[in-house]
Amino acid sequence: MKLAILSRNRQLHSIQRLLTEAQAMRVQCEVFDPLDCQIVVTRGSLEVFVHDRPLPKLDVIIPRIGTSITDYGLAVVRQFEQMGVKLVNGSHGIAASRDKLRCIQVLASKGLDVPTTVLMRGSRSARLALRHVQGTPAVMKLIRGTQGVGVMLVESSTSCESVLDTMWGLGEDVILQQYVSESAGRDIRAFVIGDRVVASMRRQAREGEFRSNIHRGGEGIPVELKDTYKRLAVQAARACGLTVAGVDMLESLTGPKVLEVNSSPGFEGIEAATGINVAKMMIQHAVGVSRGLKNTLPKTTPRLKPARV
């Protein structure tokens, strides 16, 4: 079978891990930069060219679309969908997860618990919005962004209005979100593949930082999730139309709340924290998707082999 990965950088840790596991499973795998993909549409024909050559027939694709090329990457993914190529994550799921407000809207419409979230414009709206999110401190986010970029903690109504005016002046739309104090500086990352949470960790922010992202110096600690957290993570991924997702949840006094759903989650941190071979399960899942299997993963969870010293 022929598997393709859509990614701008084949040297990324996640891409190298996928290539290693594909080779170990004897799965033919290639990496294509979405920006090298040329879409050609004519009457009755849809094709994708790379470096002036038509791509060979592919059985399944793992899209790893970066935020900086979301629109072009989605166009490429849609082209493959229209061509009948199977994808681990489709364009609708990627689009829904990439826009933070849209993601929250989708989750809330399915009855899943999320932090109260407000989109607004104008200083008067800002004061009203703070009431909806139970005042300050509150979390402010750019609509698009990953790895904690564009996420701010505002601790007074004055600073909130000041930051909002700056963002609006730059042409940026932002959302204001309820701050869950009991989960300050930490969250849960659940890695969902198919209908299972295959790995999970608690991410703890470094001292002086409220964002818990591993890329911002946060620490990953393995954690065995309660069934309520597992169910919510799987439901969140399914609501967004994703079969592979990183689901971030807050531990609130009223139970778990879904913070975000990531369609291209990194797994260096969660593999290191848990010792679980996430990359292998992603390849197993992709193979299962290509074959139209309902249950794409084996019952046993593969572990990483200890590094030689």
How many beta carbons lie within 10 A of that of residue 33, not counting itself?
A: 15
3-state secondary structure of 110: coil
CA angle 106, 230, 104 (to 5 degrees): 15
Identify the top-confidence range among 92-101, 126-135, 207-216: 92-101
Of residues 88, 143, 147, 51, the one with CA closest to residue 285? 88
How many beta carbons lie within 10 A of that of residue 110, not counting itself?
A: 12
Across the range 85-106, mean pLDDT stands at 96
User: Which tokens belong to 104?
Assistant: 């929250």
Across the range 16-45, mean pLDDT stands at 97
> pTM of the entire structure?
0.91
Give the amino acid at 308.
R
The predicted-structure confidence for 36-57, as pLDDT tens digits, reads as follows 999 999 999 999 999 999 998 9
Give the whole-angstrom CA distance, residue 62 versus residue 193: 12
* Half-sphere exposure of residue 46: CA atoms within 13 angstroms, side-chain side: 11
Which pLDDT score is estimated for 214? Answer: 56
**CA quadruple 229, 234, 235, 239: dihedral positive or negative?**
positive
Q: Which residue has the tokens 């979301």?
A: 70
The domains found in the chain, sorted by start residue, are: 2-97 (3.40.50.20), 116-179 (3.30.1490.20), 183-290 (3.30.470.20)
Q: What is the DSSP letter of 250?
A: E
The predicted-structure confidence for 184-213, as pLDDT tens digits, reads as follows 888 999 999 999 999 999 998 766 555 555
